[in-house]
Each structure stands twice: as structure tokens, then as C-alpha cells.
């Protein structure tokens, strides 16, 4: 059973050396594995092709990455919350990113158009009484899907998917890509610019697109 520690004790022991530090790290690793496992339990649909043993291994891998991130970010911990709550967030974010990445692993670029069409149907369901708007949804998503597959680079597609479609926090994307915030922001900015240009080349303005997808009252 892990020893209960205050925030101060966690910091002291993780910054120490020898057996004290090793024990604190092992206890922290156990907590992070639990956080990762809990996250995967909530996202089992993304890991449908994985056995329980493989999911446990993924949880251990995510916990290890989270442990490294926690130790690297110790100086940024301000004590506004419990240390374990702060540490859990690293495991949860890394695990969510892993789960979403696994969900998309088997989807080829050629299949992205079909997935975009599915998004279009989701929007269409919200306003099925408006046939004109439903048709417009499908046309817009067809253009977006074409642009994603043909206009964006691989990294731009990845960042767009993670940040926009999967709603992964920017800081998590930066860490996962082993990059920096400015570089990832530029990838996202360039991807959006290309999509905007593609839509404008087909006669769609941004206001028109927003209006098309605005939820009906």
C-alpha cells in the first residue's frame, strides 16, 4: 500500500536520491498506471482490437511517458491542487492521445473522405427538416475531405485531426509530437489557411459555412 504523502513530501522525495526517491517513483508509477487504465476503460471503443493484456501494456507505456513528463515538469507544480491530481492529468492526456491515435491508425488517407462524410451526416441529423441545408452540409464536407487528402501535408493532417476533430489539448499535441508550441500552431494555422482557400475557391465564405452548420432552433 502506497504511503500517503502531502504535496511537500512528494516534491521532497522525488527530488531526493537513493531508496527514498526510488520508492516515491514506484508509488507514483502505480498511480499513473491506474489513471491510464481508467482512461482506457472509458475509451474501449478506440481499442476494440486489443486484448486486455495489450491494453494493460499500453497503460504501462502511457504511465511511463507520464512519469517522465511529471518529473520534467516538477518545477512548474505550484501546489494549487493535490500533487496526485496534477500528476493524473499527464497520464490521462497521454492516454487519451494514445487511444485516439489507435482509433485512427487503421484509417488510410483514402478513407478520410468517408469519415468526413460521416461527420456531415452527423450534422445533417440535427436539421433533417431543412433539405437545402442538409445538401449544403454534404457539399461542404466533400470539399473539406478532398482538401484534407490532397492539399495538406501529413503533419498538417495529423495536427488538424488531433486538435480540431479529436479535441486533444494543444500542449499534449506538442509533447506527443516532440515539438514546440509555435511549430504546432503554424501547422494548424497553415492547414486552416489551405482549407479556407479551398472553400473560397468553391465559392464558400467563412460566414456562409458557419451559418450552414449553426444548430437550428
pLDDT in tens, the chain (217 residues): 345 788 899 999 999 989 999 999 999 999 899 888 888 877 766 676 778 888 889 889 999 999 999 999 999 998 888 898 898 889 888 888 877 776 655 554 444 445 444 444 333 343 333 434 444 556 667 777 888 888 888 888 888 888 877 767 787 788 778 889 899 999 989 988 888 888 777 666 655 555 544 443 3
Residue ranges making up the domain that contains 17: 7-105
Q: For residue 41, give Cα distances in angstroms to 36, 102, 139, 209.
A: 9, 14, 37, 36
Given 64, 82, 105, which residue is the final one in a domain? Answer: 105
The pLDDT value given to residue 23: 92
Assign residue 53 the CATH number of its domain: 1.10.1740
CB atoms within 10 A of CB 4: 8
C-alpha cell at 14: 522525488
Give residue 127's pLDDT: 39
Residue 79 lies in a domain: yes
What nine digits make up the cell of 82? 493535490
Q: Are residues 51 and 120 in the same domain?
A: no
pLDDT value of residue 176: 78
> Total domain count for the chain?
2
**Which pLDDT score, from 0 to 100, does residue 120 have?**
41
Structural contact between residues 66 and 87, judged by C-beta atoms closer than 8 angstroms? yes
The packing angle between helices 131-150 and 112-125, to 10°, is: 160
**Contacts (Cβ under 8 Å, ≥6 apart) of 28:** 10, 14, 67, 70, 87
In a domain, 1, yes or no: no
Give the torsion through C-alpha atoms of 153, 159, 160, 161, to 10 deg: 110
The verdict on residue 45 lying in a domain is yes
Q: What per-residue confidence (pLDDT) applies to 152? A: 87
Does 86 share its domain with 154?
Answer: no
Cell readout for 213 is 452548420
Grid cell digits, residue 6: 502531502
Helices (H), the chain: 7-14, 18-42, 52-72, 83-105, 112-125, 131-150, 154-160, 170-176, 181-201, 206-213
Cell numbers found for residue 181 = 508550441
Among the candidates 57, 84, 105, a domain finishes at: 105
How many angstroms separate the CA atoms of 56 and 40, rounded? 9
Query: Domain check: are 127 and 208 in the same one?
Result: yes
Amino acid at each position: 500500500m502506497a504511503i500517503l504523502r502531502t504535496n511537500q513530501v512528494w516534491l521532497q522525495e522525488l527530488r531526493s536520491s537513493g531508496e527514498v526517491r526510488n520508492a516515491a517513483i514506484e508509488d507514483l508509477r502505480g498511480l499513473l498506471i491506474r489513471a491510464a487504465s481508467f482512461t482506457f476503460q472509458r475509451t474501449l471503443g478506440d481499442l476494440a482490437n486489443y486484448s486486455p493484456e495489450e491494453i494493460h501494456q499500453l497503460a504501462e507505456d502511457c504511465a511511463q511517458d507520464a512519469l517522465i513528463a511529471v518529473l520534467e515538469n516538477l518545477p512548474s507544480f505550484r501546489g494549487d491542487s493535490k500533487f496526485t491530481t496534477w500528476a493524473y492529468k499527464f497520464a490521462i492526456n497521454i492516454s487519451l492521445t494514445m487511444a485516439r491515435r489507435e482509433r485512427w491508425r487503421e484509417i488510410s488517407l483514402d478513407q478520410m473522405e468517408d469519415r468526413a462524410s460521416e461527420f456531415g451526416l452527423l450534422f445533417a441529423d440535427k436539421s433533417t427538416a431543412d433539405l437545402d441545408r442538409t445538401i449544403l452540409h454534404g457539399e461542404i464536407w466533400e470539399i473539406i475531405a478532398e482538401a484534407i487528402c490532397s492539399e495538406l501535408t501529413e503533419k498538417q493532417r495529423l495536427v488538424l485531426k488531433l486538435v480540431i476533430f479529436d479535441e486533444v489539448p494543444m500542449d499534449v499535441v506538442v509533447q506527443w509530437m516532440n515539438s514546440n508550441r509555435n511549430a504546432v500552431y503554424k501547422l494548424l494555422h497553415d492547414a486552416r489557411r489551405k482549407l479556407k482557400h479551398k472553400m473560397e475557391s468553391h465559392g464558400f465564405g467563412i460566414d456562409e459555412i458557419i451559418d450552414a452548420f449553426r444548430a437550428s432552433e
